[in-house]
Amino acid sequence: MARIDVLKTYKLYINGAFPRGESGRVYEVKDSKGAFLANPCQASRKDLREAVVAARAAQNGWVSATAYLRGQILYRAAEMMQARKSEFVDAIIALEGKSPKAASDEVDSAIDTWVWYAGWSDKVSTIAGSTNQVSGPFYNFTIPEAVGVVTIFAEAKSTLLSLVSSIGAAISTGNTCIVIAAEKAPLTAITLAEVLATSDLPHGVVNILTGKSAELVSWVGSHMDIDAVDVSGLTKKQEADVRLEGAENLKRIHRFTEVRSAQRILSFVENKTVWHPIGI
Amino acid sequence: MLLNSVSVDELARDEESLKRFLRTLPPVDQVGVEGRAAMLSTRSIKNASKNFAIDLAIRMVDLTTLEGADTPGKVKALCNKAVRPDPTDSTVPHVGAVCVYNDMVSIARAHLDSIGGHDVPVAAVSTAFPSGRASQAVKIQDTKDALDAGAGEIDMVIDRGAFLSGRYGEVFDEIKLIKSLCGEKAHLKVIFETGELVTYDNVRKASFMAMLAGADFIKTSTGKVAPAATPPVVLVMLEAVRDFHIMTGRKVGVKPAGGIRTTKDAIKQLVLVNETAGEEWLSPNLFRIGASALLNDLLMQRMKMRDGRYSSSNYVTLD
């Protein structure tokens, strides 16, 4: 008798769990040749709301962990990515139509990029912080601190590489994030969720939603508990919407092109300056 | 099930007759009550109802701080919040009451009066809260202190040890005694600590016993023991209250406390109230919710309903 394949259910990743979407909707994802590939969940604004609650709840613990520990945990995630390399390669070949060699190179590069961002966690304050000369009896320090909850609209091109650079840059300094995967190519994001779920990352630090980003744009823009948005995966028109709504709570909104860039990290930190009296 | 014309005094003439009456109470169908509570909590609430429910829930909150680390400053801040939950929005109603430990009652009362919160009563936890482990003399003095300091409501705990050992008469007499101290001055809420009563049957028995002894409210928990105010437990208590009303014509309130943290939880409780005890109980006079974190979530949901954007805890006070 022929064996019946065990097919995978593609789900969301919220607070360390893999729920189906609140609305129960799914949508069709096709491969690069137009054949049916998968039915991932179509997240609703309520899934977004749950993800923000999870990210907010996780943020204090994540930013309070030592930078060294955050780096170690991120490195552990790179180890898990390495172990699942073939799954990433398959997804990239199917979704982005790349050759096996190109796909394999992209995954290698993504893993290296993740390690690159892992290394930054305990170096950011050395590079971006400073001791400042002031005309008074004070020690004066400037320390970069995580802004809080970052929402990432992932790019549709080189999905794994762009996911890794967006997430790595956001969380290495202690932010937590909600990723809205590229609408047409969400499978690498879902596999990445499975990697992160097995890599000591505290629940809620990274939450991944799949679905139609257009219906979530204004909810992300208007949400008062989101502190920053990476709009790399949005159109200029959508970015303008996020900026308009996001002005209400002064969201940090950025678009990036470079994969490995310290600027990506520094975009999602705030500088805190401390005046400490000398002699006390 | 229950007769219309029974005399309450007759039921509780002595310990024997009380026990006999409590034995006649039908046992609770555990699967049924849990199923019904779960079914009622899936009700979909539309926007207009949600606006109503949020404001009603705010009016029902007994804003509580019961911590060893409480200070006069913290209690005063709580009072400010009770009178004006959202300082930026004067349309938010004040809460049902402020619930504090005994020694904070006078501070809370004085502060509430000084900021125009005359309508907000102070509830004091009493009779050796939360364990109830003290001599009767101590419990009496505890209650008197609270009443003298201006408490409008007394939240007493029952002696769970005595109840679970079947010494119902002892618990009954104690509730009656505290009720007589409260007199007309204060409402009496009787806390069962349902997490320690173990079965729904015990919850039903305790409910009837407290109501017979003269409780104005029956309350699930101290907030110090989990599980606390789970929907099935509240459902059992609401059924008891409804049956007691049919039986004697007296309306007794219900106060779930502990574990109700979100607007969703609170609205589920309101659905239970409406579907079990009835619409009349949808009032702070007959239903209260003991909570501290809940109020912030209610306020955040209220902002969401008003502004159409999800709010953040940055826009409500920390405590």
Q: How far is CA A245 from CA A150, A222, A252, B308, in A?
A: 15, 5, 12, 11
Mean pLDDT of A156-171: 95
pLDDT band of B59, cuts 50, 70, 90: very high
Going across the sheet that includes A138-146, the strands are A130-132, A138-146, A269-277
Share of chain B above pLDDT 70, in %: 98
- Count Cβ–Cβ pairs < 8 Å, chain A vs chain B: 25
Residue A253 lies in a domain: yes
Q: Give A 207-246 residues with CB within 8 A of chain B.
A: 219, 222-225, 245
Please say whether the beta carbons of A226 and A49 come within 8 A. Answer: no
CA B128 to chain centre: 17
pLDDT surpasses 80 at A24:
yes
Measured between alpha carbons, how far is A84 from B309 in angstroms, rounded to an integer? 39
Is B293's Cβ below 8 Å from some Cβ in A?
A: no
CA distance B311 to chain A (A): 5
Spell out which residues of chain B touch residue A242, defining contact as CB-CB under 8 Å: none
Q: What is the pLDDT of residue A256?
A: 96
pTM of the entire structure? 0.91
ipTM attached to this prediction: 0.85
Is B42's Cβ below 8 Å from some Cβ in A?
A: no
pLDDT surpasses 60 at B3:
no
pLDDT surpasses 60 at B4:
no
Q: How far is CA B272 from CA A9, B233, B292, B294, in A?
A: 36, 11, 21, 18
Q: What is the pLDDT of residues A231-253, one digit of tens each?
A: 999 999 999 999 999 999 999 99
Q: What is the pLDDT of residue B12?
A: 80
Is A249's Cβ below 8 Å from some Cβ in B?
A: yes
Sort strands B97-100 and A29-30 into parallel, antiparallel or unpaired.
unpaired
Q: Give the H or E element holding residue B64.
A: strand B61-64
Which of B309, B314, B315 best tests the A interface by mutation, with the highest count of A CBs <10 A?
B309
Binary contact (B312, A249; C-beta < 8 A):
yes
pLDDT band of A1, cuts 50, 70, 90: confident
CA distance A142 to chain B (A): 24
Mean pLDDT of B238-249: 95
3-class SS letters over chain A: CCCCCCCCCCCCEECCECCCCCCCCECCEECCCCCEEECCECCCHHHHHHHHHHHHHHHHHHHHCCHHHHHHHHHHHHHHHHHCHHHHHHHHHHHHCCCHHHHHHHHHHHHHHHHHHHHHCCCHHHHHCEEECCCCCEEEEEEEEECCEEEEECCCCCHHHHHHHHHHHHHCCCCEEEEECCCCCCHHHHHHHHHHHCCCCCCCCEEEECCCHHHHHHHHHHCCCCCEEECCCCCHHHHHHHHHHHHHHCCEEECCCCCCCHHHHHHCEEEEEEEEECCC
* Start-to-end CA span in chain B (Å): 46
pLDDT surpasses 60 at A161:
yes
B309, B314, B315 member nearest A222 (Cβ): B309
Which CATH number characterizes residue A174's domain?
3.40.605.10
Is A248's Cβ below 8 Å from some Cβ in B?
A: yes
What structural domains and CATH numbers belong to chain B?
Answer: 8-306 (3.20.20.70)
Binary contact (B309, A49; C-beta < 8 A):
no
Contacts (Cβ under 8 Å, ≥6 apart) of A238: A153, A213, A214, A217, A231
Q: What is the pLDDT of residue B211?
A: 96
Q: How far is CA B224 from CA B62, B86, B132, B195, in A?
A: 16, 27, 13, 10
Binary contact (A223, B309; C-beta < 8 A):
yes
Residue A238 lies in a domain: yes
Binary contact (B314, A222; C-beta < 8 A):
no
Binary contact (A224, B308; C-beta < 8 A):
no
Q: What is the pLDDT of residue A216?
A: 96
Spell out which residues of chain A touch residue B312, defining contact as CB-CB under 8 Å: 56, 223-225, 249
pLDDT surpasses 80 at B5:
no
Which of A48, A56, A224, A249 best tests the B interface by mutation, with the highest count of B CBs <10 A?
A224
Residue A19 lies in a domain: no
Measured between alpha carbons, how far is A81 from A72 in angstroms, rounded to an integer? 14
Residue A151 lies in a domain: yes
Number of compact structural domains in chain A: 1
Question: In DSSP terms, which residues pair with B98 in a beta bridge?
Answer: B63, B122
CA neighbours closer than 13 Å in the CB half-sphere of residue A195: 27
Q: What is the pLDDT of residues B129-144, one digit of tens each?
A: 999 999 999 999 999 9
Is B312's Cβ below 8 Å from some Cβ in A?
A: yes
Residue A29 lies in a domain: no
pLDDT band of B6, cuts 50, 70, 90: low
pLDDT surpasses 70 at B163:
yes
- Residues of B serving a catalytic function are 155, 219, 255
CA distance B264 to chain A (A): 13
Question: In DSSP terms, which residues pair with B217 in a beta bridge?
Answer: B189, B253
The encoded tokens of residue A191 equal 């596999």
Share of chain A above pLDDT 70, in %: 100
Q: Give the H or E element holding residue B253.
A: strand B253-255
pLDDT surpasses 90 at A279:
no
Average pLDDT, chain B: 94
Measured between alpha carbons, how far is A245 from A240 in angstroms, rounded to an integer? 9
Q: What is the pLDDT of residue B270?
A: 96
Q: Give the H or E element holding residue B62.
A: strand B61-64
Binary contact (A225, B308; C-beta < 8 A):
no
Q: What is the pLDDT of residues A30-81, one digit of tens each?
A: 999 999 999 999 999 999 999 999 999 999 999 999 999 999 999 999 999 9
Tell which wins on pLDDT, B30 or B6. Answer: B30
Give the distance between the most distant pair of CA atoms in chain A: 85
What is the domain range of residue A267? 36-277
Is B310's Cβ below 8 Å from some Cβ in A?
A: yes
Q: Which DSSP category does B227 fall into?
A: S
Residue A15 lies in a domain: no
pLDDT surpasses 80 at B200:
yes
Q: How far is CA A257 from CA A16, A42, A154, A161, B266, in A?
A: 29, 27, 12, 11, 46
> Would the CA dihedral through B73, B76, B80, B85 be positive or negative?
positive
Mean pLDDT of B180-194: 95
Q: What residue has token string 């790399």? A: A232
pLDDT surpasses 80 at B228:
yes
